[in-house]
Structure formats: C-alpha cells, structure tokens
Homo-oligomer: A and B are copies of this chain.
Amino acid sequence: MKINIQEIARRSNVSIATVSRVLNNKGPVKPETRNKILTLAKQLNYKPSPHARALSSRRTDTIGVILPELVDEYFMDIIQGIDEEAHLFNKYLMISSSHSQRNDIETIMEFMGSGRTDGAIIMAPSLHDEIYEVIKKSKRPVVLLNCCSSKTNVVSFNIDNYRGARQIVAHLIDHGYRKIGMIKGPDRNIEAQARFEGFHDILVERGLEYKENYVISGDFSLTSGNYGMLRLMGSDDKPQAIFAANDYMAIGAYQAARNLNLKIPEDVAIVGFDDIFTSRIIHPRLTTVHVPVVELGRRALNYLVGMIDGTKDPAESYHEELSTGLVIGESCGCKSK
C-alpha cells in the first residue's frame, strides 16, 4: 500500500491541500481536522517524499558540506559540530570532498548548482579569489569556514588564529626565551598566514628582534615539521624555542629533536597549534593552542540555517572569530603539576 499525501487526504475525507497545510503548519486549519490528519499520518507512518517536496518548493532540508582534500582529526571535529547542530534542525548533510583529481572550484560549483542542497558550508584551507565570485553568483547561501579574511564579502566563521598565535608566542616570551623561531604553514593558506602574523607582531611588540633565519616554511605535515626543525637546529644561530604552526609539524619537530639528541624543552622548547589527540599523549606533553572546532561547526551550521530560513540576510556579509585557548604542556618549559 502506497501512502502518499493523497491517501492521507482520502482517508481523512479532506483535500490534499488541507493535508499539506497541516504537514507544513501553514495556513489556517480547524483544530479537529488538523488532529485527525496528524493522527492518521502518524498511524500510517506517513513520510512526505523529500523529492516531491523539493521539486515543487525548492526546499531540500539538506546542507552541503565541502571538505578539503586532506581530512584529518581537525575536520572530523568540525563535522561533528555541524552534524550535531544539523540534527537539531532536522537537516540532512551531504558531504563532498575536494578530490585532488578535480579542481576545488569545480567541485563546489557542481555541488551548488545541482540543487541537492539548500546551502553549503565550505572548508577549503586555501581558496582562490575566484571562489568568491562563485559564491556570490550562487542561488543558495554559503558559509565559509577558516578560509577567508574578514575583508571578503561573504559569510565566514573562523578561528582567531592571529590571537592564538600571539598568545602562545607570548607564553614563550614569558618563559624568558629571546630567540624564538617558527615553522610556518603554507603561504597560500590563510590560517597559516594569520598564525605567522601573530608570531611576528607579538615578537616586535615585546621588543624582540624578528629574524628571518629563525623562520622556515612547512606545509602542515609531519615530515615538513621534522625537516624544518633540522634546518633550524642545523644553523649556527639556533633558536631557543620553536613555534610550529600546527601540531603535526610540532610532532615532526619532536622527531627531529630526538634524532639530533636535543632534549625538549631543555635544549629547545617547542609549541604547536590545534590541540590534536596525539599532542596530549606525547612526552613531554605539547604546549599548544586549543581551537574550538566543534563549536565552529555548530555556529556555522546555525547561521547557515538562518540564512536559509530568512532569519539572517543571505546577502549581508558576516564574520565571526572564535577565540582559542592555551593548553599548557611541558614542551614549553612549564613544569608538570
């Protein structure tokens, strides 16, 4: 037995229009009629067809989530936040990765154009400016995560990478280190940029000299951290402390330190950024910056739903920065309690 809106209507002795009104809480319906329909629907376990609904109303109750090519722990947590919040709003999640085979933008365009979603959350660590055009042209609202500055004319939610970097580097300075080096992230990555700027600015503000040879570029990978550490420690003018732009690189730096027979933090202090699981396990425990990723995902979805509902103006640009927190380990020189 096929139960669709017609069947419900037939059995309730009303028209399908009335059934539709009840189901969508739209328009006036006599309470008893309403109850009769609701009861029957529940009884027959009737679920409206999402496709029919989408076809006639262009509403899918589905949110697109576009992930970067490399998905690690960090992104998994964001998704968790998105998913939890999506569930509160009865939204479904359609997930797509930017596969290396295909261009980021193509993936995104395809996704947005398909009409499968009411809107999308995009996480792409480094976006071309092109993407902003795509988003502006899109019929459906979009929220960007961690991938654009507040200057861009879009909606975005970000971690306050700049302040996080300042905080942790300030902590190093407070320890008395004067020669502080950094293993940077990829230049095109906006988060990496902000973390570097935070590092740079706090050094200068605190009256320390910023030295180019204390800074080396990595790509957020373990191996690049390892390599960066070898380079920094291979020079005659060695830094006393290293700020790795993320925990993976910090852990790579640990490996290099071990190979060089350098004790952390006695010979060189190391701090990271992201607060991944491994950082809490290794010895000495890594001092790092905690980023509220679950919360980030939550808020992004919440705002996006607002744009879809019309609660928030989708045309208006909006930016929010979530603040980070310091996780004190022993790798900076602090004693364990």
Contact = CB atoms under 8 A, between A and B. Distances in A.
A95 B93 contact: yes
Contacts of A95: 79, 83, 93-95
Nearest to A73: B73
A71 interface: yes
A93 B96 contact: yes
Interface residues of A, number: 38
Given A49-B55, A52-B55, A71 B80 contact: yes
A92 interface: yes
B114 A50 contact: yes
A80 B94 CA distance: 14
Interface string A59-102: 01010000000011100100110011001000011111101010
Interface string A287-315: 00000000000000000000000000000
B94 A92 contact: yes
Contacts of A332: none
Contacts of A80: 71, 97
Interface string A180-203: 000000000000000000000000
A138 to B, nearest CB: 14
A283 B281 contact: no
Contacts of A96: 83, 92-93
A124 to B, nearest CB: 16
A47 B113 contact: yes
A6 to B, nearest CB: 14
Interface in A238-261: 251, 254-255
A54 interface: yes
Contact of A116 (B50, B254, B255): B50
A29 interface: no
A278 interface: yes
A94 B97 contact: no
Contact of A94 (B76, B79, B94, B282): B94
Interface of A: 47, 49-52, 54-55, 60, 62, 71-73, 76, 79-80, 83-84, 87, 92-97, 99, 101, 113-116, 251, 254-255, 277-278, 281-283
5 contacts: A47-B113, A51-B60, A94-B95, A251-B281, A255-B281
